[in-house]
């Protein structure tokens, strides 16, 4: 099983540094090949996209980064942006993007609307969200789209 190391990279140095950080966890990877890792706004959850199994994994920092929820996606997850602590958008390799909500009582993800406006065109390579102005921005192919 693969291991992740919580060793930060400092852009001010050309090598890994421990100057400002201390190793706190070594986390067993829930997948094989992470396409992204993103903390929720409050830092409680860590979302991990796995391109090999087309899965999305949610780890809980409060339990030592243990796997809380795992789900198979309709295509390979390529990008993620959190809206709130328990809601987020996931971009997929087939051009879809999906809204999800975390249900902690049921330990599952509740799938919301799946947008197929870009289905089959290009993968979604990046997602950004301005929660104040409610603008969702997607990078697809050579274009950037704002909703």
Q: Kindly state whether residue 49 falls inside one of the protein's structural domains.
A: yes
- Asked if the structure places residue 20 within a domain, the reply is no
Residue 25 within a domain: no
Q: What's the CA gap between 111 and 103, in Å, rounded?
A: 10
Q: 28 lies in a domain?
A: no
What tokens were used for 147? 């909703």
- Residue 15 resides in a domain: no
Counting the structural domains of the chain, the total is 1
Q: What range does the domain containing 119 cover? A: 33-146
**Which 3 state secondary structure label does DSSP give 40?**
coil
**pTM of structure:** 0.80
Q: Confirm if 130 and 141 have CB atoms less than 8 A apart.
A: no
Tokens 């920092």 — which residue? 61
139 within domain boundaries: yes
Residue 105 lies in a domain: yes
- Asked whether the beta carbons of 64 and 25 are under 8 A apart, the reply is yes
Q: What is the pLDDT along the chain (147 residues), one digit of tens a residue?
A: 444 444 444 454 444 555 677 777 777 666 677 888 999 999 999 999 988 889 999 999 998 888 889 999 999 999 999 999 999 999 999 999 999 999 989 989 999 988 988 888 899 999 999 989 999 999 998 999 999
Cα–Cα dist 107/94, whole Å: 27
CATH number of residue 54's parent domain: 2.130.10.10
């Amino acid at each position: 099983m693969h291991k992740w190391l919580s060793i930060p990279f400092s852009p001010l140095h050309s090598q890994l540094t421990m100057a400002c950080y201390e190793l706190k966890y070594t986390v067993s990877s829930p997948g094989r090949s992470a396409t992204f890792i993103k903390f929720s706004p409050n830092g409680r959850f860590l979302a991990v996209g796995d391109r090999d199994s087309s899965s999305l994994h949610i780890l809980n920092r409060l339990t030592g980064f243990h796997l809380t929820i795992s789900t198979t996606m309709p295509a390979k997850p390529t990008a993620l942006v959190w809206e709130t602590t328990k809601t987020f958008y996931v971009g997929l390799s087939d051009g879809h993007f999906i809204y999800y909500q975390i249900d902690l009582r049921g330990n599952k993800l509740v799938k919301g609307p799946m947008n197929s406006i870009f289905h089959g065109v290009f993968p979604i390579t990046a997602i950004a969200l301005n929660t104040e102005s409610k603008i969702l921005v997607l990078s697809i192919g050579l274009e950037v789209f704002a909703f």
